[in-house]
Chain A
Amino acid sequence: MKMDTLMLQEPSLYTVKAVLILDNDGERLYAKYYDDTYPSVKEQKAFEKNIFSKTHRTDSEIALLEGLTVVYKSNIDLFFYVIGSSHENELMLMAVLNCLFDSLSQMLRKNVERRALLENMEGLFLAVDEIVDGGVILESDPQQVVHRVALRGEDVPYSEQTVTQVLQSAKEQIKWSLLR
Chain B
Amino acid sequence: MSAGTPKSLPSSGQKSIQEICHPLSAEESILSPSPDLGNTISSTGEKDLSLPNGNAVDTSSPASSSSLLNRLQLDDDLDGETRDLFVTVDDPKKHVSTMETYITYRVSTKTTRTEFDLPEYSVRRRYQDFDWLRSKLEDSQPTHLIPPLPEKFVMKGVVDRFSEEFVETRRKALDKFLKRVADHPVLSFNEHFNVFLSAKDLNKRQGLALLSKMGESVKYVTGGYKLRARPIEFAAMGEYLDIFTQKLGTIDRIAQRIIKEQSEYLVELREYSPVYSSWASSEEELQEPLDGVAACMANCCSGLEELTEEMSEDFLPVLREYILYVESMKNVLKKRDQVQAEYETKLEAVAFREDRKTPVPTDVEKCQDRVECFNADLKADWDRWQNNKRQDFRQLLTGMADKNIQYYEKCLAAWESLIPLLQDKQEARADTN
A and B associate in one complex: no
* Residues of chain A whose beta carbon lies under 8 Å from any beta carbon of chain B: none
